[in-house]
Chain A
Amino acid sequence: MKRLLFLIAATALLGLTACSKMLDAVAPRHAITTDKVGENDLGKLTSGVLYTMEGFVNSGWFDGDLMGENFTNGPGGGKVDDVTLMTPSTSFVESRWKNAFTSLRQVNELLASARSASASPTAENALKTGYFCRALIYFGLTTRWGAAPVLEKTTNEEVPLTQAEGLYAFMLSDLAEALKHPASKTGFFYVGDDAVNALMAKVYLWSGDAAKAAEYAEKVITSGSYAMEKTSEDLAKTWCFGTASKEIVFALANQRTDSQITLHTSVNDTDGSWNYRIPYPTAETPDVKDLFSSLFADVAGLKTGDIRKSVVESEAAKNRILKFPNGNDTMDQFVTNDNPLQSPLVVIRVSEMYLVKAEALGNTPEGHAALEAFLMNRYGMASVPATLSDKAWTDLLLDEYRREFYAEGHRWFDIKRLGRLDQLETLAGRDYLMRWPIPQGQIDLLKDKGAYPQNPGYTVTKP
């Protein structure tokens, strides 16, 4: 019995003493604490930012199509009767805003780590990637809201909104900074000088500096690394897994093993149960305008045999958009996609640079020539009339933008930039809707409500 007694006492003592330090021993397995992150981890943080950008790019992917009357969402896609009907409390407006800033935090944290790290190719690459991604996020903010707080680092302070001009300047300085740092990885899945120049061209175009826009677009076109595809098959492969398309200037890899981003599920689902209602007439809705019959229609003498037609649509699968092949060949897909779950998110294609250049050079012989260079690649023919009214010129540009970037989220933004609001039927004179409302939920959280002035035209509603 004495031995037993001894045993009890020993166990009790052991228990009591062993426990005291054990509260510090519990640690997660999926993560490390911030203080354990070193310079060697900069490469992983850079990858993390690109991973974050995949999510960012995906979240607003179809905005320009849905608001630009290209097509409407399928059931369950959060459709509203009138896609331009936005109020300061519309949920998708707030969710895009939030998404931009949660992504920005990842970028700013990377930049902070990279700036404080000693110089190395990895640190340089981190800086290049970081500055480019920050500009890309602000491009999304600026083109939607025309105002955003400029945040050079993560902060809990209330930073007031900066209007578009300031935002363009911020993006251009970031992109200029990005050009100063060399990339350590090559290929269109990583940020290189061409991607930076291409975004530079887009920012200049939006900011109204046409000459610079044309200059930077030209840099990308003449870099020798890219070419527009000339057949439907080659073009269609651009959005497939394992793409080697020469069109791609910058894309996000989307090689995830979980939380895969699949654009096809939104417009080209595999079970055939959803109907994306690209407007076409049915027995019950004879009054609906059929976009497909007109979008890639031939225009005698100017455009015939658009190679983009079969990339996007087919008579056999007219309730879906084939641009993002779903991998199920029984569903009238144009090309086979070996892995629809890991297909790239193509952010900038060289064809856009052709159009940017043409738009920047304007309704001039140079502009016409630039557009013809583009048209040659898509129709194998090009003859822009020598004299065009400015309206006819922008009509032509907008038509090409629409054909080129259908389902790539362009339409609404192109109309906005070119000032052709007459193209939007549902807008019905409510021009203020071309600047998204500052989310009321955000204004409500401000200590100084004046820090975020609401964009013009929106009435403030409070419950």
Chain B
Amino acid sequence: MYLKKTFAGILLPSLLLLTAAVVFPAAAQDKPEARRTYSGTVRDEDGTPLFGAAVLIGSTREGVTTDLDGRYSISAAPGALLRFSSLGYLEQQARAGDDPVINMVLPLDRQALDEVVVIGYGSASRKLVSSSIASVRMDEVDRGAAYDPIKALQGHATGVSITSASGTPGSRPNVIIRGVSSISGGSAPLYVVDGIPAEQYPTLNNEDIERIEVLKDASATAIYGSRGNAGVILITTKSGQRGATRIDASVKTGLSQVAHDVPMANTEEYIRTMTEAIDNYNLQKLEVRSLYIPPEPADFDWVGAISRKWAKTSSASVSLSGGSDKFTFYVSGGMDAQEGYIRNTAWHQYTGRAKFSYKVAPWLAFNLNSSLTWSRQDKAEETSTSLKVLRTAREEQPWYTPYREDGSYMIMTTTGLVRHNPVMLINEEKWWVNTGRLATTVSLDFTPLKGLKYTPSISGYGILDLSTKRLTENHNARALNAGWGAITEGKNHSFRYVFDNILSYEGSAGALRYSAMAGHSWESYAYEQFGFMSSNYANEAYPSSSLGLVTSGAEIFPDSVNYAAYALESWFARAMMNWDDRYILNLSIRSDGTTRFPKESRFGTFPAASLAWFASNEKWFPKNPVLTELKIRLSAGQTGSMAGIGNWAAMSLISAGSSYNGSSAFTVGTPASNLKWEKSTKYDAGADFGLWNDRLTLTADAFYSITNDMLYSKPVLAATGMNTVSANIGSADNLGAEFAVNARILDGPVKWTLGANVSWVRSRLLSLLDGSDAIIVTGSGSNLLGGNANHILQNGQPISSWYMYRFEGIYQRDEDVPAPLYAKGVRAGDCIYFDRDGNDDIDENDRILCGKATPDWFGGLSTNLSWKGLALDVFCTYSVGNNLLASWKGVNGKEGCEHLGIATTTVNVSGKGEVTQYFNVSKAVANGYWRGEGTSNTIPRPVLSGAHTGYDYDYNVLPSTRYLEDASYFRVKTVTLSYSLPQQLLKRIGVKGLKAYLTVDNALCFTKYDGFDPEASYESNPSHRHYGVDFGLSPTMRTFLLGAQFKF
């Protein structure tokens, strides 16, 4: 019943409105004799008719408004001045003359649009915001090839470091706002889409996004209390505007290639290098080993066999929007498809959104916002440390090809290959993840009194993950194992609902304008994982289409089965006071209670305050044409983090799930820990300058934050039965500065704008464990990722600090080698490491601090040059001061592109039996290794394993700064040339706007790093032992795009 009424309520007024606009012409005028009738159409710059625009005569209030098609008709005396205006557009004037038709184009008032900034649980006038918020309108950002809106933020917002850890389709960027302030608490910000906090990184249609706000200081983030520590990213999607219905469509398509390749040695170079390694070994160990070379060596490009030379990418999106005084709507659909570098990998994303708002009565509005996303990620085994197809392909012997004469695969060990055949790995496995996301928010805006607003809302957010992996029996790397999982399926789902009640009031008293907001929020989240696998099929049915073909019950194994849940209850309030646009005070407080903490310490309170002084609005402020605006801001406050705590940390649990001899079993879990919130206290001081009437704007901020009660898994004596216990023990701080400048250099027919920003952050760990000022970050890290102890947590140093041997060159003569090392087999051509303790030997004690994985400086640079419809946009990003560990080269292990003789496998060669064969090496080392005094001081000699003793793997591959490279870069991220077709031309084809463009994404990168990309990282959390490690994943590619945007 209620539903019916609502629908009728929406439809009827819309229809009435439509009829009224068509039937009743503009009001008749009373003095026809002296007047003539002028008529025309008012449009925006894109040619869209503007509904409800005012056409006024002179300075009077006499006038008419435009209809749905933007048409007007007015009676005015010739020579009268007509003023055309509409909210959000700059007013234009025209003199009534002989021509009875006056068409008008109203340019967008960009300042007015920027006026409003979205803040947590509300919005505020930009000029009057007293906290530190970076605001980016997505239409103004050249997104290049990114289908991901957050990636497009890179370099546009100060204080926000965004890096693409890999080019794997569907991978997420690493986002750090204002430095690293936590170890366990994570450094990923909270994402809030249209007011609803997202559990994970959002998947959205780029074209749907109106704007993104990054909340940085405590005053802005404290309203999100317990999740504000790492900053908050607010994403606002587009809404319908009243006026004629408009259709926006965009398409783009492009091709991507590797921007900076890592070429491998060809057969000749490979043979030369390995021969040298064997010769060096024989000479040193007085042995007579020799290199086996197949009778007819081929020269095969293994990486080429599993990768795409050109990967396709394309996007399309269409939206329909519009509305009347009572009803607005926005409906859109989008599609993104991106192929990955590795064959078979791809990302497909389909999005739909519907957003309605209906004014039921002057005091009540009803809003609905619903979005559905479906994505499909086709994956390959590239991140796994066991199969790792890209590394495997690099290191395969170039003298073999993937197939034998009978068409079967070459197989590792048994038929000669040193690594699993990467072509087989790619061809014999299909692995994909389908993800569906449905988010819906229903809210009411209830405005019973002027200034008072009550908004209850309920939103639900469901995610369904369906993953399938299928292997065929030809997958030699897996199919021979019992329980190998010919088919693995996972069906995981999560659901979150949020119930908000927000009451706000806006009012004024004299020169004081104020607003107050108070609210309550209840959030509940649950995640269930259900996965199983099998390798047993009836009737040779595999590769099977489904688990339905599995016959024997005993052969079905659980894969991932899990349940997680938490709930959060919050109370919050904010007051904003503005005295005469000169003094602005903002106070907020939030209290959060979570199920992750014990009852007694469940609630945490997070207050914040900020003050802004609009100096240029003071009467005494000298009116001058140069400094036209000056605002000074100060803020302080507290935020928290609960990310570092398990869902059940507050409980002592007995876990089920294990069994013994067929009977179910209980094991004793970790006892409840008495934890509380990790809290950050943040300070910010900033100033906004406007020069020459905002022709040049400058924003500068300095900040300091200190995190206390930092959550950390504290190591405890093993005899307690535990190895670590979560505790609130550490503290860390961040000091930083941000500076952004935007200039309209040329403002005439040729327009030229320039924007630049720079951020500097210094992060430090202040304290962690009692009685110890450093912990080497250990764990079960694979040596493929550089070993397990390359990071250190040291007081006074950044959380991502590196800790390893310092490489100091190559011994050029045997006489230079100290005796203890000589005894271990070190000779001329081997590495020199810094001998910290001066004992002439190299051991664990010689490791030292070696820089960090997070940058000191980063930012962006953008410029736009336009003339008439033609525009050139160039956007650059840069990062300075971070080091990256190139583990793909082979750090502290026997594999890798720069092993120079230690990576071997004993393989079977037909007619020969077992022989030792060697992994391939990169072209760079094959041609650059040390081959006698003075030949190289950077790349050691090739020599087989066993020449050096006393080290886990080999002396030359010790984790050292030889692999730790300067990852500073300056990147020309996007270059776009666009052309907006002139209106006259468009009219003929019935299109209101058409812009065509050519873009090169990731055009150029200036860096010393010699891997694929200096932004690479295996892990996203800076405190993780594999952060800043380049494992050798798919590269971020260079993309050439052709696109067009239409308006109908």
- Cβ contacts under 8 Å, B951 to chain A: 81
Residue pair B950, A89 in contact (C-beta under 8 Å): no
Chain B stretch 572-605: residues in CB contact (< 8 A) with chain A = 593-595, 599, 602
Residue pair A48, B776 in contact (C-beta under 8 Å): no
B446 within 8 A of A: yes
B1009 within 8 A of A: no
Q: Tell which of A75, A81, A270, A331 has the most Cβ of chain B within 10 Å.
A: A81
Q: Given A22-B524, A282-B916 in contact, is the A442-B718 Cβ separation under 8 Å? A: yes
Task: State which of B454, B599, B663 has its C-beta within 8 Å of the C-beta of A47.
Answer: B663
As a 0/1 sequence over residues 34 to 48 of chain A, the CB contacts with chain B under 8 angstroms (1 = contact) are 101100010111011
Task: State which of A1, A43, A81, A442 has its C-beta within 8 Å of the C-beta of B717.
Answer: A442
Chain A stretch 1-46: residues in CB contact (< 8 A) with chain B = 1, 4-5, 7-8, 11-12, 15-16, 19-20, 22-34, 36-37, 41, 43-45
- Cβ contacts under 8 Å, A265 to chain B: 481
Nearest chain A CB to B736's CB is how many angstroms away? 30
Residue pair B720, A8 in contact (C-beta under 8 Å): no
A416 within 8 A of B: no
Q: Given A34-B654, A43-B663, A89-B844 in contact, is the A158-B456 Cβ separation under 8 Å? A: no
B977 within 8 A of A: no
- Cα distance A255–B562 in the bound complex, in angstroms: 21
Task: State which of B289, B412, B952 has its C-beta within 8 Å of the C-beta of A284.
Answer: B289
Task: State which of A82, A270, A273 has its C-beta within 8 Å of the C-beta of B949.
Answer: A82
Task: State which of A75, A106, A149 has its C-beta within 8 Å of the C-beta of B667.
Answer: A106
- Cβ contacts under 8 Å, B566 to chain A: 26
Residue pair A23, B569 in contact (C-beta under 8 Å): yes
Minimal Cβ-Cβ distance residue in B for A461? B845
Task: State which of A32, A52, A154 has its C-beta within 8 Å of the C-beta of B720.
Answer: A154
- Cα distance A100–B914 in the bound complex, in angstroms: 40
Residue pair B594, A23 in contact (C-beta under 8 Å): yes
- Cα distance A439–B844 in the bound complex, in angstroms: 15
> Can you identify 25 A-B contacts, CB atoms within 8 angstroms?
A4-B364, A8-B454, A12-B501, A16-B501, A22-B524, A28-B563, A28-B651, A29-B563, A33-B652, A47-B658, A47-B664, A48-B667, A75-B905, A82-B949, A91-B788, A255-B660, A255-B662, A256-B658, A258-B558, A272-B480, A319-B906, A328-B480, A339-B482, A442-B719, A463-B774
Residue pair B412, A51 in contact (C-beta under 8 Å): no
Residue pair B648, A284 in contact (C-beta under 8 Å): no
Task: State which of A19, A82, A331, A439 has its C-beta within 8 Å of the C-beta of B569.
Answer: A19
- A-B pairs, top 6 by smallest CB distance, nearest first, are A105-B721, A47-B665, A253-B661, A47-B660, A48-B665, A31-B653
Residue pair A102, B655 in contact (C-beta under 8 Å): no
Nearest chain A CB to B862's CB is how many angstroms away? 45
- Cβ contacts under 8 Å, A190 to chain B: 661
Q: A32-B653, A109-B668 given; name 13 further pairs at CB < 8 Å.
A: A23-B595, A47-B663, A75-B905, A105-B668, A156-B720, A258-B557, A270-B482, A271-B478, A273-B420, A273-B905, A442-B717, A442-B718, A463-B847
Residue pair A26, B565 in contact (C-beta under 8 Å): yes
Residue pair B668, A106 in contact (C-beta under 8 Å): yes
A116 within 8 A of B: no
**A residues with CB within 8 A of B:** 1, 4-5, 7-8, 11-12, 15-16, 19-20, 22-34, 36-37, 41, 43-45, 47-48, 50-52, 54, 75, 80-82, 85, 89, 91, 97-98, 100-102, 104-106, 108-109, 149, 151, 154-156, 158-159, 189-190, 253, 255-258, 260, 265, 269-275, 282-284, 287, 319, 326-328, 331, 339-341, 439, 441-442, 444-446, 461-463
- Cβ contacts under 8 Å, A331 to chain B: 480
As a 0/1 sequence over residues 497 to 531 of chain B, the CB contacts with chain A under 8 angstroms (1 = contact) are 00101000000000000000000101010000000
Minimal Cβ-Cβ distance residue in B for A282? B914
Minimal Cβ-Cβ distance residue in A for B772? A444
As a 0/1 sequence over residues 663 to 704 of chain B, the CB contacts with chain A under 8 angstroms (1 = contact) are 111111101000000000000000000000000000000000
Residue pair B844, A45 in contact (C-beta under 8 Å): no
- Cβ contacts under 8 Å, A28 to chain B: 563, 565, 647-648, 651, 653
Q: Given A22-B524, A283-B915 in contact, is the A85-B950 Cβ separation under 8 Å? A: yes
- Cβ contacts under 8 Å, A108 to chain B: 721
- Cα distance A22–B788 in the bound complex, in angstroms: 42
Q: Tell which of B287, B480, B843 has the most Cβ of chain A within 10 Å.
A: B480
- Cβ contacts under 8 Å, B361 to chain A: 1
**B residues with CB within 8 A of A:** 2, 287, 289-290, 360-361, 364, 412-414, 420, 444, 446, 454, 456, 458, 476-478, 480-483, 499, 501, 520, 522, 524, 557-558, 562-563, 565-567, 569, 593-595, 599, 602, 647-648, 651-669, 671, 715-723, 772, 774, 776, 778, 788, 843-845, 847, 894, 905-906, 913-916, 949-952
Residue pair B906, A101 in contact (C-beta under 8 Å): no
Minimal Cβ-Cβ distance residue in B for A155? B720
- Cβ contacts under 8 Å, A47 to chain B: 658-661, 663-666
Q: Given A23-B602, A156-B720, A270-B482 in contact, is the A48-B444 Cβ separation under 8 Å? A: no
Task: State which of A34, A75, A269, A461 has its C-beta within 8 Å of the C-beta of B652.
Answer: A34
- Cβ contacts under 8 Å, A19 to chain B: 499, 520, 522, 569
- Cα distance A273–B723 in the bound complex, in angstroms: 35
- Cα distance A44–B906 in the bound complex, in angstroms: 47
Q: Given A270-B482, A273-B420, A445-B717 in contact, is the A41-B666 Cβ separation under 8 Å? A: yes
Residue pair A102, B660 in contact (C-beta under 8 Å): no
- Cβ contacts under 8 Å, B668 to chain A: 45, 48, 105-106, 109
Residue pair B501, A50 in contact (C-beta under 8 Å): no
- Cα distance A250–B414 in the bound complex, in angstroms: 38
Task: State which of B477, B522, B647, B774 has its C-beta within 8 Å of the C-beta of A271.
Answer: B477
- Cα distance A149–B654 in the bound complex, in angstroms: 26
- Cα distance A89–B567 in the bound complex, in angstroms: 42
Residue pair B665, A284 in contact (C-beta under 8 Å): no
Residue pair A101, B720 in contact (C-beta under 8 Å): yes
Minimal Cβ-Cβ distance residue in B for A3? B2
Residue pair A272, B414 in contact (C-beta under 8 Å): yes
Residue pair B719, A253 in contact (C-beta under 8 Å): no
Task: State which of B478, B483, B721, B845 has its C-beta within 8 Å of the C-beta of A463.
Answer: B845
Nearest chain A CB to B348's CB is how many angstroms away? 32
Q: Tell which of A48, A256, A257 has the most Cβ of chain B within 10 Å.
A: A48
Nearest chain A CB to B817's CB is how many angstroms away? 19
- Cβ contacts under 8 Å, A12 to chain B: 454, 456, 501
- Cα distance A327–B536 in the bound complex, in angstroms: 14
Minimal Cβ-Cβ distance residue in A for B667? A48
- Cα distance A26–B594 in the bound complex, in angstroms: 10
Minimal Cβ-Cβ distance residue in A for B916? A284
Minimal Cβ-Cβ distance residue in A for B894? A75
- Cβ contacts under 8 Å, A16 to chain B: 501, 520
- Cβ contacts under 8 Å, B774 to chain A: 463
- Cβ contacts under 8 Å, B593 to chain A: 23
- Cβ contacts under 8 Å, B656 to chain A: 30-32, 44
- Cβ contacts under 8 Å, B667 to chain A: 48, 51-52, 106
Residue pair B522, A15 in contact (C-beta under 8 Å): yes
Residue pair A48, B721 in contact (C-beta under 8 Å): no
- Cβ contacts under 8 Å, A159 to chain B: 719
- Cα distance A445–B719 in the bound complex, in angstroms: 11
- Cα distance A33–B562 in the bound complex, in angstroms: 17
- Cβ contacts under 8 Å, A89 to chain B: 844
- Cα distance A443–B599 in the bound complex, in angstroms: 35
- Cβ contacts under 8 Å, A284 to chain B: 289-290, 915-916
- Cβ contacts under 8 Å, B661 to chain A: 47, 50, 189-190, 253, 255
- Cβ contacts under 8 Å, B720 to chain A: 101, 105, 154-156
- Cα distance A353–B668 in the bound complex, in angstroms: 34
Residue pair B952, A270 in contact (C-beta under 8 Å): no
- Cβ contacts under 8 Å, B446 to chain A: 8
- Cβ contacts under 8 Å, B717 to chain A: 158, 442, 445-446
Residue pair B499, A37 in contact (C-beta under 8 Å): no
Minimal Cβ-Cβ distance residue in B for A41? B666
Residue pair A257, B558 in contact (C-beta under 8 Å): yes
- Cβ contacts under 8 Å, A282 to chain B: 906, 914-916
